[in-house]
Structure 1
Amino acid sequence: MMNTKTVISLKEYEQVQDVYLPPQTTRILKNDYSHVFHLSPSGLDHYHLTAKSMIGLVNCEDHLFQIEPKMKTPIIWDWLAVAYDLKSLEWDWSRVGFASSFGDMEWVVKSFIKECQRIYSRGIKKGNVQKEEPIAAVRGSLNATQTFHRWLKYDYRFECRFDELTEDVNENRIIAATLSAMLVHSYHDSNIRGDLRSLLQIYGKEINQSISNLFDPSLWIREIQQLPLNRTNAHYHRGIQWAFLYWKTTSLDFSLGHVQSHSFLLDMNELFELYISKRLTTELRPYGIQVIQQKYDYLAEMGRIRIIPDVLLKTPSGREIVLDLKYILKRDAASINSNIFQMLAYLTARKAKHGILLYAGGKERTDHIKNSNFTVHQWSMELDKENGAELVEARMKELAERLVKLW
């Protein structure tokens, strides 16, 4: 008899009340997904379940939690394409199942497969690895002393140190590890697992698969972030970016029998910051304005009271504007005031005159701070107006123009 899961659907920041959750599921949500949900007890094994800023799918043994985005699907797709450098994608989101089943990771897997096939058509990257071993003929650098001792034992090989061409390079290791992780799961499209196996034979045939933490997302996220991009691996870039998206948004989670399912979780706060930063980088480059993300700074002397503004905008002459991104609608005065106080700390530390709190939606205003030369602007992306992707893009250009005028 097939087991069925209880499906609970809600939108980001939405609450469903008085939900029955068995103790095991409750423990999982509290221990592993506290960044996704807030649970408030409402009775015996019953809870008020509130979604936070994550969207996607959480898979447990007996429950499936679907968190839908508030925004329209094309907007999410555009943000992903910009944030993860996937703008040159050769097909639209509707063809890979993105719109019909947002929390299903199958669309990412299909996209990654297509990129891996494209990379293979252009050539697998190879690199040199240094080896030192006895061989039949001299190659590379000869170690005469060790060779002499070997000959004394009637072993007439040469001890040499030489470079050998191999496909066991970081780019292929990242691809192979991602393919291996994807193979753990089941898919609706029966062709996917066959494609993954075929690609793993290509990218993983020389890769050491004995890595103890092969499925550790933090390992591969770090490897991707440290991977230099140059002319020798430029054709890998899109494939590596899909791998990066996969490791950032998935987790190996709770299986039902032998079938493994994905949990797909996308942090909308992070996506909002990445999208805005990347778009501003493009729009402000012609003006020579540099966009700097997440710069550590200190408010007090001797490196005390650490602060981290979201984005710094810097002109060639060194003038700065501090930008703090808020993926929320501007509502109550208390939260607005705390955000302004936070911005004043940034302006003080950076000696900047203008600070911008960019909200997802809400009314705009500008405040000139008394007894200082600080001005705090509260701007809006107007996402609360049900805009389509084209209007969001136009709003982004308009905001960039307003930034330039502040200088």
Structure 2
Amino acid sequence: MTEPGTEVSLREYGPAVSVPLSAEAGRALAASGILQNATPDPGRIGHWLLRAGSRVGAVRTPGGPVVRIMPKTPVSRLFFLLGFSLDPARAWRDSREGTVDTGAYDDVVPALAHAVERQIDGALRRGVLQGYQEVEESALVVRGRLREAEQIRRHFGRTPPVEIVYDAYTADTAENRILRAATERLLRLPDVPGPVRRRLAHQRVRLADAQPLVRGQELPRWQPSRLNSRYQSALRLAEAVLRGTSPEHRPGGTGPLTVDGFLFDMNQLFEDFVTVALDEALREHGLTARMQDVHHLDAAGLVRLRPDLVVRTRDGRTPLAVADAKYKVEKGDGLLNADLYQALTYATVLGLREAHLVYAAGRRPERFHEVRGTAAGPDGRRMRIYQHSLDLSSDPARLLASLTHIAARLAESSPHPRS
């Protein structure tokens, strides 16, 4: 059996690896859903076949190994996609690699821990943000306002304590709670380098006046403002740690076993990046975009459709084009026909002349298919389905230029004659 503390390295969508695992640890991994496949190896007793899918990062199973999943995309580029998705205005102005500082680390978890710690350090450089919070408590003296209903209910006819409510100027704010929670989350992860771990522990001390978050509860809400502007980049990255991860999986039937770790879903990250970038570029054309817009295939409204992005006129009333992001390689051998059928369905339901598929890689930057049996528009063209391919290995400026070109294509679209 694999001893606790040992490591297994997998590659995103790579071949399955036979690993010695206890039945308990293997079942925990299989039930967690973090791998594409985790099954007993029929050829080797006590071994499990592990194959990674779209999730990258590191997880740890009590009693089992640390499973590290390496991305196909360079880590620096992965964090550019993340940084753009979280803060497009800043990244659009500055498309260099440095929008999220990952240091010299080329693994996901070390790079993430370094990036979050650097962002938090920058946010706290001018001191810990404080704000007014409403406090309700029992006290021996009156401070603030008397809570009359509570006073009567709890202490009717008695002398102090009194039930009061007042506004306290404190560091226990939503912003500081989120930063503290992200710091503590990272300190529990495998693969965090020693120097980064020490700096994270220092940041936790600086945020000690913020109350810890209760696991399982929603994150506290915060509103961007002039006062918390220096916190905003750190907050967006911290929320990505707390919300957009695979923090703890408690698979059914495995008792107290948990799978603890951090994982990016590359499917979701690519979709977020493409739709946010297209939305930003479409604004230059005076158009609006709706992400995950809900529509229905049938008149009864039983079959729901949710295209990644629907382009609309400035007033938002008329759909012009539809786009879907696909974290896969565009091929010309018919293997991705299902994507074309999906795009055709979107265009038909929305009454559009075009649909667009955006792939993470492909043989050609752009190609299209003209759909037989569809009515021709004023330009004599039938309905078209475009397939666009990005090159995630290219530099950020070129990657954004490719999406600007796709946005221009979307902006040229017009409704189908029948609509």
**TM-score, normalised relative to structure 2:** 0.77
Alpha-carbon deviations, 1:315-349, whole Å to 9, x = none? 21523211011111123755432222222222233
Per the alignment, residue 131 of structure 1 pairs with: 136
Deviations along 1:37-95, one digit per CA (max 9) or x if unpaired, are: 35474424455543211222233444343332223344223212212228479957786
- Higher alpha-carbon deviation: 354-363 or 33-42: 33-42
Comparing 349-358 with 122-131, greater Cα deviation is found at 122-131
Amino acid at match of 2:293: K
Q: Which residue of 2 aligns with 1:30?
A: 30
Q: What's the secondary structure of 1:178's corresponding residue?
A: helix
User: Hey, what's the Cα distance between the residues in 1 that align with 2:398 and 2:391?
Assistant: 10
Aligned pairs for 1:70-85 (under 5 A) are: 70-85=72-87
Task: Specify whether residues 376 and 15 from structure 1 end up closer, same or farther in structure 2 by C-alpha distance, changes over 3 A only.
Answer: farther
Q: CA separation of 1:280/1:67 partners in 2, compared to 1, >3 Å: closer, same or farther?
A: same
Instruction: Map 1:73-222; keep pairs closer than 5 Å.
Output: 73-85=75-87, 87=91, 96-99=103-106, 102-103=107-108, 105-120=109-124, 121=126, 123-131=128-136, 133-137=138-142, 139-140=144-145, 143=148, 153=158, 155=159, 160-185=164-189, 189-207=193-211, 209=212, 213-214=214-215, 216=216, 219=217, 222=218
Distance 1:284 1:143, change over 3 A: same
Change (3 A) 1:372 1:35: farther
Distance in 1 between residues matched to 2:72 and 2:203, nearest whole Å: 36
Q: Distance in 2 between matches of 1:382 and 1:160?
A: 60
Secondary structure, aligned partner of 1:71 = coil
Q: State the alpha-carbon separation in 1 of the partners of residues 231 and 104 from structure 2.
A: 24
Q: Which runs of 5+ in 1 are unaligned?
A: 255-259
Query: 1:400 and 1:368 mapped to 2: Cα distance?
Result: 20
* CA 1:174–1:94: 2 relative to 1, 3 Å: closer
Aligned-partner SS, 1:136: coil
Secondary structure in 1 aligned to 2:136?
Answer: strand
Q: 2:273 maps to what in 1? A: 275
Q: Distance in 1 between matches of 2:262 and 2:161?
A: 55
Q: Which amino acid aligns with 2:188?
A: V
Give the aligned partner of residue 403 of structure 1.
410
1:31 shift after superposition? 1.0
SS at match of 1:165: strand
CA distance in 1, matches of 2:272, 2:360: 14
- 1:135 deviates by 5.0
**1:54 is matched with which residue?**
55
Q: Does 1:11 pair with 2:7? A: no
CA distance in 2, matches of 1:203, 1:371: 64
1:249 paired residue number: 245
Partner of 1:340: 340
What CA distance in whole angstroms lies between the structure 1 residues aligned with 2:161 and 2:150? 12
Of residues 87-96 and 363-372 in structure 1, the stretch that sits farther from structure 2 once superposed is 87-96
Could you list the runs of 5+ residues in structure 2 that have no partner in the other structure? Answer: 251-257, 376-381, 415-419
TM-score relative to the length of structure 1 = 0.79
Q: Percent identity of the aligned residues?
A: 21
Contact 2:84 2:273 in 1 (8 A): yes
Note if contact 1:59-1:262 (Cα within 8 Å) is conserved in structure 2: yes
- 2:298 & 2:29 partners in 1: Cα distance? 38
Q: What is the rounded CA distance, in whole Å, between the counterparts of 1:271 and 1:296 in structure 2?
A: 20
- Partners of 1:250 and 1:96 in 2: CA distance: 23
Q: Which residue of 2 aligns with 1:316?
A: 314
Contact 2:182/2:238 (<8 A) preserved: yes
Deviation at 1:27, TM superposition (A): 1.2
